[in-house]
A and B are shown apart, each in its own frame.
Chain A
Amino acid sequence: MNDFSAQLATELQPASGTGPDWLNALRQAAAEQFRSHGLPTRKDEAWKYTGLGVLTQNEIRLSVPADTIIAPAASPAVARPVVAVEQQVTLLNGRILNRSENLPSGVALLALDEALDTEVDGLQALLESLPSAKKKTLSSTGFSALNTATLENGVVIRVASGVDGGRVLLSWSTSVEKAACLFNSRVCLILEPGAKLELLEQFETPRDNKNTSNIVVQAALGEGAALRHVRLQQESETTGLITRTEVSQQAGSDYRYYGFDFGGGLVRHDLHCMLLGSAAKASLNGAYLLDGNRHVDNHARVDHMAPDGFSEQYFRGVAGGSGKAVFNTAVYVHPGADGTEAKQSNANILLSKRAEIDTKPELEIYADEVVASHGATVGQLDEQAVFYLRSRGLNQEQARQILTTAFCRSVSDRLADPQLAEAISERMMDVMPQLD
């Protein structure tokens, strides 16, 4: 273990005392795990292209010095919602700052501690299901162990069978100014059979913010449940954001992810779907646009564990300036998952000599009767198309702008809600990297 991890390990105080015994056992075990493994390094295959640079430079701390915290009332404005929403939860430093009360019947939205007190059905099983560091396949386990060890803050949403929970916005930000802290938080989504929910997550931090957020989202989709998960992320060049999304899917469930990453100092997202029941469907879509010194590392993985599943991964990336985009997608078809169909598509445009794109689309297949394919490209805009536009009177720059936007819009256009698609595409226009 390196010095940085060792320092964090000595600081680590499991959040004990609150909550039931099983939870304390879980926290203790995770703390042990962290103390023996620490945070990942570039020697770990899953972190080959991403170092912890910003975190170590900022000398991230686990405990928040008492005198530096800014009272919630004085905190800078949180992210402006990308679209108007009925239900909104604002989280600051991993804790709920405020939340709307008008919930449809059949939807419970609670702070994690409240949910533990009221013993929400299925919560214990969900919290205990987060895979441990022992499995070589999981890549953010050092951070996850830290998250579990300090498990205290977060949100629990439960949607009753057959209920449409509508759209819920989680707006994340951090506020500590003089110090650089690591904030942990947990989101648990429990969708009973046939339930529906749209989770919209927005992450935004102001300039010079040096914090790191470490957030785990766990979603359990019952039979035929449907979760639409939209994520929009824009950190400052000094901020870290480590997130992990774990989705377990029963038969016939449908998970759709739409991620829009504009990067940050260190942005890492591990997105993992386990198709446990037959004919489950996972559609993972994302665009990443990077400029300046921004970084983003997306790891998406789908485990097909039952027959007749479908998964697709559709990601588009643009890197300019000194931006660095890492993209790793994996499909794992387990024995017995016959009839699986899996598609992966990843295309990237590199705009600058200082920018870098590393992509690794993996397939691991242990069943036959499988149709799997992937395509990955890194290159430039189609020169034929650029000429076509120029021959119609648009200049070089306009032509490139239009084509790059179209390239990224191919992701936002996959959103069913045209209003949301438009709003997100406007945000993309705002941050579009330029050719240099």
Chain B
Amino acid sequence: MSNETSTTDNLVKQKYQHGFVTDIESETLPPGLSEQVVRAISARKNEPEWLLEWRLKAYAQWLEMEQPDWAHLNIEAIDFQAISYYSAPKADKDRPQSLDEVDPKLLETYDKLGVPLHERARLAGVAVDAVFDSVSVGTTFKKELGKAGVIFCSFSEAVQDHPELVKKYLGTVVPQRDNFFAALNSAVFTDGSFVFIPKGVRCPMELSTYFRINAAETGQFERTLIVAEEGAYVSYLEGCTAPMRDENQLHAAVVELVTLEDASIKYSTVQNWYPGDENGVGGIYNFVTKRGDCRGARSRISWTQVETGSAITWKYPSCILRGDDSIGEFYSVALTNNFQQADTGTKMIHIGKNTRSKIISKGISAGHAQNAYRGLVRMTPRADNARNYTQCDSMLIGKKCGAHTFPYIEVRNPSAKVEHEATTSRIGEDQLFYCLQRGISEEDAVSMIVDGFCKQVFKELPMEFAVEAKALLEVSLEGAVG
């Protein structure tokens, strides 16, 4: 950033860096949703009968449901018939079996995205399952993981290769009719990731998935299922991007996590879907249901998210703390700029005894953006000595944005303890001046202050991700000061 060009105008026009379109042929179903479409998706994926039935049940339930309107979001009506529910990159007859078979242009895409797929993946020690529009295009490190007994594959492969596991866990955390978008996903989900860590295994590397929406007028409906058996551990990273398009694209994913006794899952997300332009045109509608079930005693689920993208974010990664002494955590940074809207937070449902949860949420709002934290902490009558601590801070940059906090606290156990604290502030003029006086530019000062504001969350992210998150935040904030 040179001094001469760092005018507000230039900053405002900062482009979304991941906004390129990959020019490859893809095989796409025509827009529209019907029972036939659900059947077609299932057939194309060569699914067993039970899964088709499962999808059809979800579809029937979805038809009876209404899109929720309780969130602090201003959403234009979504025409579910205008969306295509299946889009697969077309590469000969079969889907690519290995990376060598993947369309080079696709790999180029990942290159631009910085997805560490080839050698870079090996160097970084990250196993990547990349989901491009609707199908999974290749998973690295499968062999090495296999030695440890870890299953890490696309959801479609899991349906073919490990149907008993999929059948046992699918929909047990987020049932089909859980909510409008989960029901939709259950009917039309196309791919996603599947992870299974067997008893006593500590996954030898961090697992990672990149999601990307490419084709026009498509929705992405991926489904992720992660199961950690007794004493197992896994750290899972998820990155999301989408190209720039004028129209709004729908993303309705479902993520289910299950931990058995003494197991632990750490789930980190850096979400950078296209947020729309500076006038609020285009961008991803992100309606995601993420939930973890601490089924076993002493198990632990930790969600960390950095949300900088999407025109609309509707997302509440949650923990059901069923096992005694289980632990749920939620660390979140949500940054909204221009006309972005976010309504995000978590639910911590304490059922087991001595369960503990911690919520750290940092919301930053700039431009005309609206940023809401919505969280539920519920202490059920059985949850003796359960504890929750919530800290929820908002920062406003500019006069036209909004920052909101809606915590729900429900307590039905006299030995439980819930503490909730929230603050709203702006970047202090004295703070800014102090930095300026020391020779730091206003932009750098702002990103420094914001970075400090978010530190508590960043330190929960794996190293490489933390660096990426920080950089993303800087890019997203540019143009916010003026």
Contacts and interface: CB of A to CB of B under 8 A. Distances in A.
B306 interface: no
Contact of A364 (B70, B402, B407, B425): B402
B419 A377 contact: yes
B420 A376 contact: yes
Contacts of B401: 366
Interface in B392-436: 394, 396-426
Interface string B58-75: 000000000000101000
Nearest to A320: B414
Contacts of A372: 423-424
B420 A370 contact: no
B424 A376 contact: no
A419 B406 CA distance: 38
B404 A365 contact: yes
Interface string A353-376: 101111111111111111111111
Contacts of A373: 421-424
A94 to B, nearest CB: 34
**B interface, over-half SS:** strand
B462 interface: no
Contacts of B411: 348, 350, 356-358, 378
The A interface, classified by DSSP as helix, strand, loop or mixed, is strand
Contacts of B405: 361-364, 374
A343 to B, nearest CB: 10
Question: For this complex, into which size category does the number of interface residues on chain B fall?
Answer: 35 or more
Nearest to B413: A353
B404 to A, nearest CB: 5
A376 B392 CA distance: 12
Given A355-B414, A377-B417, A368 B406 contact: no
A361 B422 contact: yes
A361 B404 contact: no
B355 to A, nearest CB: 15
A194 B424 CA distance: 33
Interface residues of A, number: 36
Contacts of A368: 396-399, 426
A75 interface: no
Contacts of B30: none
B381 interface: yes
Nearest to B72: A364
Interface in A404-436: 435
A366 B402 contact: yes
Given A358-B409, A365-B394, A369-B426, A351 B403 contact: no
Interface string A26-56: 0000000000000000000100010000000
B406 to A, nearest CB: 5
A90 interface: no
A379 interface: yes
A206 B410 CA distance: 31
Nearest to A349: B414
A350 B422 contact: no
A363 B404 CA distance: 5
B414 A377 contact: no
A365 B402 contact: yes
A87 interface: no
B387 to A, nearest CB: 9
Contacts of B381: 353
Nearest to A328: B408
Contacts of A376: 407, 409, 418-420
B71 to A, nearest CB: 11
B346 to A, nearest CB: 15
A335 interface: yes
Contacts of B416: 350, 378-379
Interface string A376-417: 111110000000000000000000000000000000000000
Contact of B417 (A335, A375, A380): A380
B68 to A, nearest CB: 11
A370 B406 contact: no
A203 to B, nearest CB: 27
B407 A335 contact: no
B409 A363 contact: no
A366 B402 CA distance: 4
A283 interface: no
A376 B399 CA distance: 28
A15 B410 CA distance: 41
A352 interface: yes
11 contacts: A355-B412, A369-B426, A370-B425, A370-B426, A373-B421, A373-B424, A375-B420, A376-B419, A379-B416, A380-B417, A435-B414
Interface of A: 45, 49, 335, 338, 348, 350-353, 355-380, 435
Given A362-B405, A376-B407, 14 more contacts: A350-B412, A352-B414, A353-B413, A359-B409, A363-B394, A366-B401, A368-B396, A371-B425, A372-B424, A373-B424, A377-B418, A378-B379, A379-B418, A380-B417
